Amino acid sequence: MGNDTAVTLFRDAKLRKLLVSTGLSWLFDAMDVGLVSFIAAALSVEWGLGAQQIGLMAAINSVGMAVGAAVAGSLADRYGRRSILLWTLLIFSVASGLSALAASFAVLCVLRFIAGFGLGGELPVASTLVSESVPVKDRGRAIVLLESFWAGGWILAALIAYFVIPRYGWRMAFAIGAVPALYALYLRKAVQDSSRFLRQAGTKLSFRDRMNSVWSSPYRKSTAALWVLWFTVVFSYYGMFLWLPTVMVLKGFGLLKSFQYVLIITIAQLPGYFTAAYFIEKYGRKFVLVTYLAMTAVSAIWFGTASSEAMLVTAGICLSFFNLGAWGAMYAYTPELYPTSIRATGVGFAAAIGRVGGVIGPYLVGVLVAAGVPLTAVFIVFFIAILVGAVTVLLFAPETKGIDPDRHI
């Protein structure tokens, strides 16, 4: 499985360079998101933040991501994937570095909104660029492998949290988040717009025409199903994973021990991505999405009811494995539903709807935990949401394996 993937995708030097270059920007995005979850746990101790304030900070970050996804997706169809990718990377990395200087909770929230704007904008643009630059037969696998860099970013965040935060404090962790600004200088020369985009660059549609097209009869059903999928997946992911270190603390583990367990759980994302990358070209997008989402729902219930240390970590590993495999499939699936002229707009707005779920999820957890609601009940909410997403895909979403959307317009 691994060798087949490597031979297929990495034989072409140009494709290899694109995948690794955009993948590293994806890794830095994930590192930033991951650091916020670990820093939130540290701030709850140092600044005495309550559960509701932690939820608010995560929600504000997601609001920025929602706005960034919609704006950047639209701009990428107008001005090109490459330039928007670079600007969004710079915005989030600079804002992340400035977060190290925040003297108050309010200032930190403002900077997290700006960082979220850049981060939320970069992800759909990067997936769009790679999707339309890869041959149709390898497209799904390439995007899932791109998504696997997300796991690398979370692992890096967990390592920074484990080794840096206890010794040097959370400000140093945020300062490390400014490093991607330097990487943007390299990315400026390493990445180019796809030939598909360049071919239709002279016939760009207006924003209104693009939005009308996204909701026109050929794409209306797919767009509606896609928005439900994105909302439920992002709602559950950010609700669960941004709270993971804090949930560990609530279950009685010390801060350092919690970071250690979350690192172990995070590593399980990698085999989740790699198995999804294999199955997505073998059995199709819908198979991977429905199967991995159903198993994520089961794992969420298991994690919420886990009563022992071993069971908690094992359930967390399964949750991480299946949830991130589903994420990879979702990012592969989304660009395949639209032609090049409206692709980034369609992907960007689907991601923006998802980020609305990312706003509600962590904030809802904060409200429920502050109100004394048992963690079991909190995870039942996510169980239901994930099943709604799985059933929507099963019943209403089309299969896109092997289909070129530019030939179906």
pLDDT of 202:
59
Region class of 166: left (phi > 0), else alpha (psi between -120 and 50), else beta: alpha
Other CB atoms closer than 10 Å to residue 338's CB: what's the count? 28
CA 286-289-293 angle, to 5 degrees, is: 145
Question: Residue by residue, what is the 3-state secondary structure of 9-32?
Answer: HHCCHHHHHHHHHHHHHHHHHHHH
Nearest-angstrom CA–CA distance, 55 and 244:
12
- Enter the pTM of the model: 0.84
pLDDT of 6:
44
Nearest-angstrom CA–CA distance, 320 and 324:
6
pLDDT tens, the chain, 409 aa long: 444 444 455 566 777 888 888 998 889 888 988 888 788 878 888 888 887 787 788 778 889 999 999 999 999 998 999 999 999 999 999 999 999 999 899 999 999 999 999 999 998 999 999 998 888 888 888 888 888 898 888 888 888 888 898 889 899 999 998 888 888 778 877 888 888 888 876 567 888 999 999 999 999 999 999 999 999 999 998 888 777 777 777 777 766 677 777 778 888 888 999 999 899 989 999 999 999 999 999 999 998 888 777 888 899 899 999 999 999 999 999 999 999 989 999 999 999 999 899 888 878 888 888 888 888 899 999 999 999 999 999 999 999 998 888 765 4
pLDDT of 33:
83
pLDDT of 70:
94
Question: Residue by residue, what is the 3-state secondary structure of the chain?
Answer: CHHHHHHHHHCCHHHHHHHHHHHHHHHHHHHHHHHHHHHHHHHHHHCCCCHHHHHHHHHHHHHHHHHHHHHHHHHHHHHCHHHHHHHHHHHHHHHHHHHHHCCCHHHHHHHHHHHHHHHHHHHHHHHHHHHCCCCHHHHHHHHHHHHHHHHHHHHHHHHHHHHCHHHHCHHHHHHHCCCHHHHHHHHHHHCCCCHHHHHCHHHCCCHHHHHHHHCCCCCHHHHHHHHHHHHHHHHHHHHHHCCHHHHHHHCCCCHHHHHHHHHHHHHCHHHHHHHHHHHHHHCCHHHHHHHHHHHHHHHHHHHHHCCCHHHHHHHHHHHHHHHHHHHHHHHHHHHHHCCHHHHHHHHHHHHHHHHHHHHHHHHHHHHHHHCCCCHHHHHHHHHHHHHHHHHHHHHHCCCCCCCCHHHCC
CATH pick for 13-186+214-400 out of 3.40.50.150, 1.20.1250.20, 2.60.40.420, 3.90.550.10: 1.20.1250.20
pLDDT of 264:
83
How many CA atoms does the CB half-sphere of 270 hold within 13 Å? 12
Whose CA is closest to 398, among 161, 234, 218, 134? 218
pLDDT of 255:
61
User: What residues does each domain of the chain span?
Assistant: 13-186+214-400
